[in-house]
Chains A and B, each alone.
Chain A
């Protein structure tokens, strides 16, 4: 009985805390993901369904890299360049966000949120082709 009394009081206290913090809490923080420039097709917004992209994009890129680098098969199917071209957008003053810190870059917005490292851009560029001046045109992939 004594235990029940103590538990009863404690639960009342917890309920109070919950209501107070429930009132004070605003929106849950979510990553602010920049919108892509185009849809992939009329039926599909990205190269694979969104649910799959959210879960497996890392694997797709890794397997694509393996095919390209080890086996010499270069397609435009899951090309990182195409990802970056479509997804990385400039702000109002025409500047492209950096991928190395902050959370403005398309990849960074979620990767910072979930504390996941991105290795891609230690070698590859994180900015779309349109951002380069003509004298330093990057190599076309397809």
Chain B
């Protein structure tokens, strides 16, 4: 068993564990946190179906961002949509046989990575050169951009400049996925691949402790996920009922 193979395989297990359970715990935490006020930003949908549409347009199209700042929206949407395509392309390392959709995504993912990097550089420039944003930026904000840029640049380099043995790598990844403890397939040890994977592992570990939590968080933001029906249905937080309304407690809405 080569050192790097064991090192990366174990790191993948640890990182996946932290990502899955950390994220699970945060989602649980978000779900049980009370939203005591009815505060949908108006004009807001008056039905649950309308809220679903609103949230989806927020999650997929970044509607609020589009309304508030066009150029930031442009960089953000470039990065996020290209990231989706790149992620779909990477599924080929995790399945055999490869789904047709993933096969078809290959060339798009390959060149999508450049759009992703361009978007990231735009967001980095925003953080560095917009004075107001620069003032409120913490090291963690830069770290996320730095990690994503490292992943993106090393990935592009593997794809276009210093290649690796992707067959051997896929065999390694599949053996990791099928839990072949200490009989994993040997992974290729090209420097760029090691950098690429190390930064992915770091990002997975940092995910549940960082601003990357905006991924599940957007679904829980009260100004976006509430139905605008304060007159039809009284909005009460359960803890408020217990404390102040001893008699004839109203039915809780959410």
Chain A residues within 8 Å of B, Cβ to Cβ? 3, 6-7, 10-11, 14, 18, 21-22, 25, 28-31, 51, 54-56, 59, 110, 112-117
Q: Is B21 an interface residue (CB 8 A)?
A: yes
A7 to B21, CA, bound (A): 7
Contact yes or no, B185 A28, CB < 8 A: yes
Which range holds the interface residue count of chain B?
20 to 34
B171 proximity list for chain A (CB < 8 A): 28, 30
Q: Which residue of B lies closest to A21 (CB)?
A: B179
Contact yes or no, A6 B25, CB < 8 A: yes
- CB proximity of A116 to chain B, nearest CB, Å: 7
Q: Tell me the dominant secondary structure on chain A's binding face.
A: helix
- CB proximity of B209 to chain A, nearest CB, Å: 13
Given contacts A21-B178, A22-B180, A29-B174, contact A54 B106 (CB under 8 A): no
Q: Is B102 an interface residue (CB 8 A)?
A: yes
A39 to B175, CA, bound (A): 30
A113 proximity list for chain B (CB < 8 A): 96, 98, 167, 170
Can you list the 9 inter-chain pairs with the closest CB atoms, starting with the nearest?
Answer: A25-B178, A22-B179, A55-B163, A115-B92, A115-B98, A28-B175, A29-B96, A28-B174, A54-B165
Per-residue 0/1 for B73-109: is the Cβ within 8 Å of any A Cβ (1 yes, 0 no)?
0000000000000000000100011100011001100
A110 proximity list for chain B (CB < 8 A): 167
Task: Point out the residue from B17, B165, B180 that lies within 8 Å of A28, measured CB to CB.
Answer: B180
Contact yes or no, A114 B166, CB < 8 A: yes
Q: Is B11 an interface residue (CB 8 A)?
A: no
- CB proximity of A100 to chain B, nearest CB, Å: 14
- CB proximity of A9 to chain B, nearest CB, Å: 10
